[in-house]
Amino acid sequence: MRLFAIRDYRHLYSAQVIALFGTGLTTVALGLLAYDLSGPRAALVLGTALTIKMVLYVVIAPLAAAYVDRLPRRAFLVVLDVVRAGVVLALPFISEVWHIYVLIGLLQSASAAFTPTFQAVIPDIVTDEADYTRALSASQVAYTMESLLSPVLAAIALSFMSYNSLFLGTSVGFVLSAALVLSTRIPNARPSAHTKAWDRAAAGIKMFVRTPRLRGIMALNLVVAAAGSIVIVNTVNYVRDVLGGSQSDVAWMLAASGGGTLLAALALPRVLDRITDRTVMLTGAAVLVVGTLAAVTLTAAGLTTWVGTAITWIVIGSGMAMIVTPTGRVLRNSVEPNGIPEVFAAQFSLSHLAWLITYPIAGWLGTNSGFTITWSVLAILAATGAAGALSLWPRHDGPETVTAPPAPARPMSQLDTEAGIAEGTLAACQCAGIRTP
């Protein structure tokens, strides 16, 4: 492929893939570490750790996006990778729950700054329009395959090693990522359309508030977060304590959700050629409401079986993909070309704000009140978000095209569809696990 003949992109893409898989393995290992330290209260610990992550993402990511064109980006990305490598390397040696919170704060601060910087680099390295769309599609493949394969690789690794070894491998991965970024020639950033940092940070939020379809996206973010929290926060305790599974079983159940994501991702490009983004995304919301209600039924009716749980997790993974993957195309077609970075940064923060609401519910309420009550609350939130999206996003919201004069128009093609899908994944940060490079 001509795209990978571009040396700088090839190195940067390799760094992204390595960091993605390292982060995926860390997510699995962190849940098992929380279980070892807290047992039945692991969901509370994991929920708190992930809440800290969301707070930092909501606060730091917009600031990083606002200042990204003022920083030496290559050096900044390398420093962030080194920080993450050091934090992950320290995780196996902790002995208290509060140590997790401190280290996760450091880790996620680095990740929150890394993501908008990384996203801003790609168009400056890949300048040809056709190659850029292929670069976005390649990123989508990386995110999708990571969400599926990381839990599988973790399950295989846990068959012959402890989860502490996963932390060590992840640390090495971040070092390799830093080395690859260091070998990349990243040009100086192009200036933003806004000169003041606060204007940059607030511009995307203002666009969401005044654009009907983007208000619908905000409601759909809540649907994704409500359903996804069940999988991300509660799988460890549910598999270990209710189903009586092993560490590897936890990873395989997470892989079931990733499998649902992959199936939907493979089917969506052709579907989106024939059906509007709004229809697909609202259908995904309905799928997630069904998935959360199925999860409630599993525990309320005592139908806690491996097969039933796996099917429910697959449904949730599929529904999340149906909402997240078209998001980028909706964002891109709702703003002027020079406003795209700001609206993507706003979506990054707003989507994580939704997770900031649902993670504590899944973790804290799940520990104190049980799965049935907790998942019922999350199902209500998912249904509320779905109803809100249906109301806020009018059926006739005008053509889904750029609102200001774009570059010379060309017919919508499969390549355009794949580019929009890739941008959606970049904006929402990997839908099955909400992970970032």
**Chain segment 103-122, per-residue pLDDT in tens:** 888 888 888 787 767 767 87
Lowest mean pLDDT among 13-27, 128-142, 156-170, 419-433: 419-433
Whole-angstrom distance, CA of residue 244 vs CA of residue 261? 25
Q: Binning pLDDT at 50, 70 and 90, where does residue 419 land? A: very low
Helix axes 197-210, 340-360, angle to 10 degrees: 70
Six-digit token string for 128: 């040809």
User: Over the chain, what is the mean pLDDT?
Assistant: 79
Whole-angstrom distance, CA of residue 27 vs CA of residue 401? 37
Under 8 Å between Cβ of 324 and 224: yes
**What confidence score (pLDDT) does residue 351 get?**
85
Most confident of 5-9, 94-98, 372-376: 372-376
In 183-275, alpha helices (H): 197-210, 212-237, 247-274
Of residues 122 and 307, the one with the higher pLDDT is 307
Under 8 Å between Cβ of 287 and 319: yes
How much is the pTM? 0.73
**What confidence score (pLDDT) does residue 175 get?**
93
In 68-96, alpha helices (H): 73-90
* Mean pLDDT in residue range 198-213: 79
Six-digit token string for 408: 């010379």
**What confidence score (pLDDT) does residue 23 get?**
75
Q: What is the DSSP letter of 68?
A: G
Whole-angstrom distance, CA of residue 409 vs CA of residue 291? 40
* Mean pLDDT in residue range 242-249: 88
Whole-angstrom distance, CA of residue 245 vs CA of residue 237? 10
Number of C-alpha atoms within 13 angstroms, CB side, residue 235? 32
Q: Binning pLDDT at 50, 70 and 90, where does residue 238 land? A: very high
**What confidence score (pLDDT) does residue 284 get?**
95
Q: Binning pLDDT at 50, 70 and 90, where does residue 129 land? A: low
Q: Binning pLDDT at 50, 70 and 90, where does residue 254 land? A: confident
Lowest mean pLDDT among 11-15, 113-117, 209-213, 253-257: 113-117
Of residues 400 and 47, the one with the higher pLDDT is 47
Q: Binning pLDDT at 50, 70 and 90, where does residue 381 land? A: very high
Helix axes 7-38, 247-274, angle to 10 degrees: 140
Whole-angstrom distance, CA of residue 307 vs CA of residue 321? 21
Six-digit token string for 325: 């993957």
- Residue type at 373? I
* Mean pLDDT in residue range 319-324: 89
Residue 303 has pLDDT above 90, yes or no: no
Summarize pLDDT for 331-372 with one digit per residue, the tens: 877 877 667 667 777 787 788 889 989 999 998 898 899 999
Most confident of 188-202, 395-409, 419-433: 188-202
Q: Binning pLDDT at 50, 70 and 90, where does residue 293 land? A: very high
Residue 373 has pLDDT above 60, yes or no: yes
Summarize pLDDT for 344-354 with one digit per residue, the tens: 777 877 888 89
Q: Binning pLDDT at 50, 70 and 90, where does residue 66 land? A: low
Whole-angstrom distance, CA of residue 380 vs CA of residue 360? 15
In 275-339, alpha helices (H): 277-300, 306-324, 327-332
* Mean pLDDT in residue range 386-399: 84
Residue 437 has pLDDT above 90, yes or no: no
Residue 98 has pLDDT above 60, yes or no: yes
Whole-angstrom distance, CA of residue 281 vs CA of residue 299? 28
